[in-house]
A and B are shown apart, each in its own frame.
Chain A
């Protein structure tokens, strides 16, 4: 049989067990994988190029489409990177709201990952349990942001709006259901012989390899490295919260499953603490109050210094020859970089004008020139945004560091030498999100 050639198999781009469009090229010797390669880019939507041509706030809706299972974390990551560059810090209540939003998203991300990979191994019931409670969480996201998936919750300088009435109570009710579903799934999977046989000692990656490939998130933690951006470089208010960073030991699929299951509980704990601690007050920076120039001038004549100090002059922007860019409303250094709340926008002419000014092409927020990198803990690991501003009203460059690119790059190393059937659980535990991977 020496003339027998290895078989070349294309798995994907369209395959029921591929979470999104990705193509795996496999060279097979029987059922064994001799060599493999992953090919990505089928969902490339030019996020980075498009961002260079949108004003700062208008990039937020594009970030929804990165990791579409946990869009809120992308919103927060992008806005925090911009705020870091502009030197803005948002009010405490806004930080708590962002934390709550992030953690809800992390739970939905993990629920989807576990549910989908369990379904691919035949545990359809678990999929239904988890996706059902995910839907309840999406309803809460809907109440908070106004959309299930395309949330666009954050703004540069704040969030879209405060929690609706009874949000905390409703959230606690949903958490009961989430916990029930997690316990049920735990009973169905964790000690299940079939599940463990498929997951244990499959898709092993060593600690050294994981670090060399720059892998972060649950994938790295399953190898025993407790690296979590929330703990290592705390942002928002994570240093005030009590939570654990679950780790595995072997770095196989089963460990990744356990880490994700534990993280769901930790995220729920974080949200409960946030709901207890959240202070009253403003959730976003205020749009600074502006008076017309003639009012300001009159006040000056009258000697009303209190008003002079309190307000900024607003100059009619239709004036010829006036340098419009000097208008204070477009400056990021003060608090006026923020979009007015939607109630204002639709409820008053001043709010509408203010919104329009900030949204209009070339009139928007101006972020000081410079460059920065900011990372948050996404559902799959370190989600970084590298932002370059040239001082204009739109980014000069936006780079997203997609956390699932690293395990995808390491995938062929993990699956080489294994069985074809093992690709399914391994690929499931990578939790590849094509929107984020291909951008």
Chain B
């Protein structure tokens, strides 16, 4: 098994760290994703969790966080303070989001995995902004689009970003914990007057450039 190292960096230093790692030979960005820790309660053991209804019958209960969203969500039913357990351990990050870059040092001759490094980076809720790594690894283009789509994390220094899996008219970011699983949206958005100029139609984005 290859050696796996996990490091944690600040959002502001993420790009420089990743650039340094790339120059050290970590040539493959295996995966890039995010986790929303706003509803995290490590070990629900001591809480009366069995009284909780199935999520299809209830609204999702996130930990109360400062509502700073400009976007429309279903109103989450915030629990009253006495039902929240005081003994609940804190999530592994201070910030709401934790993004993970999984890098691999791949030897092109032997095909060996010469080691991996997982770069964790906390992203604050407001504003959720990160510097893009498209200039280092072109695959980051699609992966960042997915993270934007699912978590609403924005990326600077990159060409125009658009949703990867959802459609342009979709409202909200579905993998955020305050997006209720029961929420429904029309599958196709309201017909825009000018379909020709709608972002979903007939615009080819140029292929990304990278070093």
Contact = CB atoms under 8 A, between A and B. Distances in A.
Given A25-B202, A53-B56, A233-B113, A412 B139 contact: no
Contact of B139 (A214, A363, A386): A214
Contact of A391 (B31, B44, B138): B44
A363 B102 CA distance: 33
Chain A interface size band reads: 35 or more
Interface stretch (B68-76, B122-130, B164-172): B164-172
B147 to A, nearest CB: 10
A125 interface: no
Interface residues of B, number: 55
Contacts of A234: 1
A371 B120 CA distance: 11
A231 B111 contact: yes
Interface string A398-439: 010100011011101100100000000000000000000011
Given A227-B113, A390-B43, A371 B92 contact: yes
B174 A362 contact: no
B49 A325 contact: yes
B146 to A, nearest CB: 8
B207 A413 contact: yes
B138 A399 contact: no
A324 interface: yes
Secondary structure class of chain B's binding surface, majority of residues: loop
A361 B89 CA distance: 23
Report which residue of A46, A214, A410 has the largest number of chain B beta carbons within 10 angstroms of its beta carbon.
Answer: A214
Contacts of B150: 48
Interface in B14-47: 27-31, 33, 35-36, 40-46
- Among B45, B56, B89, B118, which residue has the most Cβ atoms of chain A within 10 A? B45
Interface stretch (A36-44, A172-180, A291-299, A302-310): A36-44
Given A27-B204, A211-B27, A392-B44, A245 B181 contact: no
Contacts of B179: 49
B53 to A, nearest CB: 8
A401 B101 CA distance: 12
Given A401-B30, A401-B31, A213 B41 contact: no
Given A211-B108, A391-B44, A44 B165 contact: yes
A390 B38 CA distance: 12
B140 to A, nearest CB: 9
Contact of B2 (A10, A35, A232, A409): A232
A243 interface: no
A225 B139 contact: no
A41 B168 CA distance: 11
Contacts of B44: 325, 390-393
Contacts of B46: 323, 325
Nearest to B145: A409
Interface of B: 1-2, 27-31, 33, 35-36, 40-46, 49-50, 52, 54-56, 89, 92, 100, 102, 106, 108, 110-113, 118, 137-139, 141-142, 150, 163-167, 174-175, 179, 181, 202, 204-207, 210
Name the 6 nearest CB pairs between A and B, nearest first: A391-B43, A226-B111, A41-B165, A227-B111, A232-B113, A369-B42
Given A53-B181, A211-B108, A371-B35, 13 more contacts: A44-B165, A44-B166, A52-B181, A212-B137, A214-B28, A227-B112, A227-B113, A228-B111, A324-B50, A390-B42, A392-B44, A399-B31, A409-B138
